[in-house]
Structure 1
Amino acid sequence: MNIDYTVTALMFPAIPLLMSVYSNRFHSLSILIRQLHDEHVYEKHIPPEWKKQFINLSGRITLLRWTILFASFGFLFNMLTVFALYLDELFIARMIFGSCCLSMIISILFFIREIHISTNALKLHMSDMDVDVS
């Protein structure tokens, strides 16, 4: 495969967009955690599934941290690919770009897992509501 600036340019809009999605998700999660914290500490209100929610949120934070970390590495490797191409180091550019793609794949896999856990959390949250959906 020939690698040039065009190939690496394809990643430039995708990576920041993904990182923005990840950051928004992290921000929403942090708001939820702060709300639960305030309920627990200040209002002394403990939801019935508090322990399960805490474990779930803790796992989601960890997954999002790894998701954002690998996306950041993907962006870094993409920039290093451009730099290697600038230096006319084609073999090194290919290796670094491969690392970029691998980092992004890992990041997306972590994100898919986080979405799966998030969906299960919503089901758990809705489990105490008695609603007939017909």
Structure 2
Amino acid sequence: MEITLTTPALLFPALSLLLLAFTNRFLSLAKLIRDLKPIYKTSHSHLVYGQIQNLRLRLVLIRNMQAFGIASMFSCVLCMFMLYAGLQTAGKIVFGVSLVLLMVSMALSLWEIQISVKALELELSDLEQDEDIAPIHPVT
């Protein structure tokens, strides 16, 4: 397989958008944590504490998502440099590493989304118990 200088450059738009999405998630979680902290200090609610623990895990995942995404982008740039220098085989290997790093970043993103959805489901089930209403199931 022959790769050119433009092959790794194709990942730049995708990586940029992913990193932007990861940063937005981080900022949302940071605001949520800042909002929950005073609530927990006054109420010492186990529900709020559980939410904070959930958010802590999600923060670690987002940090790792960003780290792998940045490493993938760095590998793309390194690959481009190697191809420019005429190191075709090394460039192919580094490009493969870049793709693997991108896959790890996306897998962590999927894990973080699943944790987020479970937390929201717990929140909704708690609401349903408080209101004593039946959950609405989508029609299939």
Moved more, 25-34 or 48-57: 48-57
Residue in structure 2 matched with residue 79 of structure 1 by the alignment: 77
Q: What displacement does 1:5 show?
A: 1.6
Q: What displacement does 1:46 show?
A: 3.7
Q: 2-side partners of 1:12 and 1:128: how far apart?
A: 42
Residue in structure 1 matched with residue 38 of structure 2 by the alignment: 38
Equivalent of 2:47, from 43, 46, 49?
49
TM-score with structure 1 setting the length:
0.92
Residue in structure 1 matched with residue 3 of structure 2 by the alignment: 3
User: Which sections of structure 1, spanning at least 5 residues, go unmatched?
Assistant: none
Residue in structure 2 matched with residue 63 of structure 1 by the alignment: 61
Aligned residues: 132
Matched letter for residue 51 of structure 1: Y
Q: 2-side partners of 1:38 and 1:16: how far apart?
A: 34
Between the two proteins, what is the percent identity of the paired residues? Answer: 32
Q: 2-side partners of 1:14 and 1:124: how far apart?
A: 32
TM-score with structure 2 setting the length:
0.88
Moved more, 124-133 or 3-12: 124-133
User: Which sections of structure 2, spanning at least 5 residues, go unmatched?
Assistant: none
Residue in structure 2 matched with residue 91 of structure 1 by the alignment: 89
Residue in structure 1 matched with residue 20 of structure 2 by the alignment: 20
Q: 2-side partners of 1:32 and 1:105: how far apart?
A: 28
Q: 2-side partners of 1:18 and 1:128: how far apart?
A: 32
